[in-house]
A and B are shown apart, each in its own frame.
Chain A
Amino acid sequence: MPAVKGEGMRGLAVFISDIRNCKSKEAEIKRINKELANIRSKFKGDKTLDGYQKKKYVCKLLFIFLLGHDIDFGHMEAVNLLSSNKYTEKQIGYLFISVLVSGTSELMKLVIQAIKEDIKARNPIFVCLALQCVANIGSREMAEALVTDIPKLLVSGDTIDSVKQSSALCLLRLLRTNSDLFNMSEWANRVIHLLNDQHMGVVTSATSLIENLVKKNAEDFKGCVPLAISRLSRIVTSSYTDLQDYTYYFVPAPWLSVKLLRLLQNYPPPDDPSLRVRLPECLETILNKAQEPPKSKKIQHSNAKNAVLFEAISLIIHMDNDPNLLVRACTQLGQFLQHRETNLRYLALESMCLLATSEFSHEAVKTHQETVISALKTERDVSVRQRAVDLLYAMCDRTNAQEIVAEMLAYLETADYSIREEMVLKVAILAEKYAVDYTWFVDTILNLIRVAGDYVSEEVWYRVIQIVINRDDVQGYAAKTVFEALQAPACHENMVKVGGYILGEFGNLIAGDPRSSPLVQFQLLHSKFHLCSPATRGLLLSTYVKFINLFPEIKPQIQEVFRSNNQVRNADVELQQRAIEYLQLTSVTSTDVLATVLEEMPAFPERESSILAKLKKKKPTAVKEEGEKPKTMPTAQVNSGATPDANVNVEPVASLFQTDPPSQAPAAPAATSDDLLGLSTPVATSAPPNALNNGGPPASAVLLDIFGDPTPAPPTSNNVGAGVVDEEHFNKFICKNSGVIFENNLLQVGMKSEYRQNLARVTLFYGNKTTTTFAAFLTEVSYPGDLKERLSVQLKDVDPTIEGGSQKQQILNSECISEFTIAPVLSFEFINNGAPQAFRVKLPLTVNKFLTPAVMNSEDFFNRWKSLSSPGQECQKIFKAQHPMDTETIKLKLLGFCLGVLDGVDPNPVNFVCASILHTRNQQIGCLVRLEPNNQAQMYRLTARCSKDSVSQTICDLLETQL
Chain B
Amino acid sequence: MMQFMLLFSRQGKLRLQKWYEAHPDKVKKKITRELITTILSRKPKMCSFIEWKDMKIVYKRYASLYFCCCVERDDNELLTLEIIHRYVELLDKYFGSVCELDIIFNFEKAYFMLDELLLGGEVQETSKKNVLKAIAAQDLLQEEEKDLYLQNDILSLLAPPW
**B10 proximal to A (CB < 8 A):** no
- What chain B residues lie within 8 Å of A7 (beta carbons)? 142-145, 147
B83 nearest CB across to chain A (Å): 8
Tell me whether A8 and B145 are in contact (CB under 8 A): yes
Tell me whether B152 and A169 are in contact (CB under 8 A): no
Partner of B147 from the list A8, A59, A95, A314 (CB cut-off 8 Å) is: A8
- What chain A residues lie within 8 Å of B16 (beta carbons)? 66
A125-B134, A314-B74 known; 20 new pairs, CB 8 Å cut-off, are: A88-B141, A91-B108, A95-B112, A136-B115, A162-B125, A166-B119, A169-B120, A245-B129, A253-B126, A254-B82, A258-B79, A303-B79, A303-B81, A306-B78, A311-B76, A342-B47, A346-B47, A383-B46, A383-B47, A384-B47
Tell me whether B147 and A4 are in contact (CB under 8 A): yes
**A135 proximal to B (CB < 8 A):** yes
A345 nearest CB across to chain B (Å): 8
* Interface set, chain B 1-33, CB cutoff 8 A to A: 1, 14, 16-17, 21-22, 25, 27, 29
- In the complex, 22 of the A-B residue pairs with CB atoms within 8 angstroms, ordered by the A residue number, are A1-B105, A2-B99, A2-B150, A4-B106, A7-B145, A13-B148, A20-B104, A132-B115, A136-B120, A162-B125, A165-B124, A166-B124, A170-B119, A173-B120, A201-B127, A204-B126, A208-B123, A307-B78, A345-B47, A346-B49, A621-B73, A921-B22
- What chain A residues lie within 8 Å of B107 (beta carbons)? 62-63, 66
- What chain A residues lie within 8 Å of B148 (beta carbons)? 1, 3-4, 8, 10, 13
**A381 proximal to B (CB < 8 A):** yes
Tell me whether B122 and A208 are in contact (CB under 8 A): yes
Tell me whether A383 and B22 are in contact (CB under 8 A): no
Interface string of A116-145 (1 = CB under 8 A from B): 000000000100100110011010000000
Tell me whether A342 and B142 are in contact (CB under 8 A): no
Tell me whether B79 and A255 are in contact (CB under 8 A): yes
Tell me whether B46 and A342 are in contact (CB under 8 A): yes
Bound CA span A727–B124, Å: 50
Partner of A169 from the list B22, B109, B124 (CB cut-off 8 Å) is: B124
Bound CA span A97–B74, Å: 31
Interface of B is mostly: mixed
Tell me whether B82 and A347 are in contact (CB under 8 A): no
Bound CA span A449–B140, Å: 71
B68 nearest CB across to chain A (Å): 15
Tell me whether B105 and A2 are in contact (CB under 8 A): yes
**B151 proximal to A (CB < 8 A):** yes
Partner of B94 from the list A5, A62, A86 (CB cut-off 8 Å) is: A5
- What chain B residues lie within 8 Å of A789 (beta carbons)? 27
- What chain A residues lie within 8 Å of B99 (beta carbons)? 2
Interface centre among A2, A8, A62, A311 (most CB of B within 10 A): A2
* Interface set, chain A 158-216, CB cutoff 8 A to B: 162, 165-166, 169-170, 172-173, 176, 200-201, 204-205, 208
* Interface set, chain B 90-125, CB cutoff 8 A to A: 94-95, 99, 101-102, 104-109, 111-112, 115, 119-125
Interface centre among B21, B124, B143 (most CB of A within 10 A): B124
* Interface set, chain B 49-105, CB cutoff 8 A to A: 49-51, 73-74, 76-79, 81-82, 85-86, 94-95, 99, 101-102, 104-105
**A380 proximal to B (CB < 8 A):** yes
Question: Provided the pairs A6-B147, A68-B29 are in contact, do residues A245 and B130 lie with their beta carbons within 8 angstroms?
Answer: yes
Interface string of A91-116 (1 = CB under 8 A from B): 11001000100110000000000000
**A250 proximal to B (CB < 8 A):** no
**B149 proximal to A (CB < 8 A):** yes
Bound CA span A427–B121, Å: 39
- What chain B residues lie within 8 Å of A62 (beta carbons)? 107-108
Tell me whether B119 and A4 are in contact (CB under 8 A): no
**A237 proximal to B (CB < 8 A):** no
- A-side residues, CB < 8 A to B, are 1-8, 10, 13, 16, 20, 59, 62-63, 66, 68, 70, 86-88, 91-92, 95, 99, 102-103, 125, 128, 131-132, 135-136, 138, 162, 165-166, 169-170, 172-173, 176, 200-201, 204-205, 208, 245-246, 248, 253-256, 258-259, 262, 300, 303-304, 306-307, 310-311, 314, 342-343, 345-347, 380-381, 383-384, 621, 789, 921-922
Partner of B150 from the list A3, A91, A208, A255 (CB cut-off 8 Å) is: A3
Tell me whether B126 and A6 are in contact (CB under 8 A): no
Tell me whether B76 and A310 are in contact (CB under 8 A): yes
Tell me whether B77 and A3 are in contact (CB under 8 A): no
- What chain B residues lie within 8 Å of A88 (beta carbons)? 141-143
Tell me whether A95 and B108 are in contact (CB under 8 A): yes
**B137 proximal to A (CB < 8 A):** yes
Question: Provided the pairs A3-B148, A88-B141 are in contact, do residues A138 and B47 lie with their beta carbons within 8 angstroms?
Answer: no
B128 nearest CB across to chain A (Å): 6
- What chain B residues lie within 8 Å of A102 (beta carbons)? 22
Tell me whether A86 and B143 are in contact (CB under 8 A): yes
Tell me whether A383 and B51 are in contact (CB under 8 A): yes
Tell me whether A66 and B22 are in contact (CB under 8 A): no
A348 nearest CB across to chain B (Å): 12
Partner of A201 from the list B51, B108, B111, B130 (CB cut-off 8 Å) is: B130
Tell me whether B112 and A91 are in contact (CB under 8 A): yes
Bound CA span A801–B129, Å: 65
Bound CA span A653–B144, Å: 95
Bound CA span A233–B46, Å: 35
Bound CA span A621–B73, Å: 10
Tell me whether A5 and B85 are in contact (CB under 8 A): no
Tell me whether B109 and A6 are in contact (CB under 8 A): yes
- What chain A residues lie within 8 Å of B25 (beta carbons)? 70
Tell me whether B49 and A13 are in contact (CB under 8 A): no
- What chain A residues lie within 8 Å of B143 (beta carbons)? 7, 86, 88
- What chain A residues lie within 8 Å of B142 (beta carbons)? 6-7, 87-88
B6 nearest CB across to chain A (Å): 11
Tell me whether A343 and B141 are in contact (CB under 8 A): no
- Chain B's closest residue to A123 (CB) is B141
**B138 proximal to A (CB < 8 A):** yes
**B156 proximal to A (CB < 8 A):** no
A416 nearest CB across to chain B (Å): 13
**B139 proximal to A (CB < 8 A):** yes
Bound CA span A345–B45, Å: 12
Bound CA span A176–B119, Å: 13
A297 nearest CB across to chain B (Å): 14
- What chain B residues lie within 8 Å of A165 (beta carbons)? 119, 124-125
Tell me whether A303 and B82 are in contact (CB under 8 A): yes
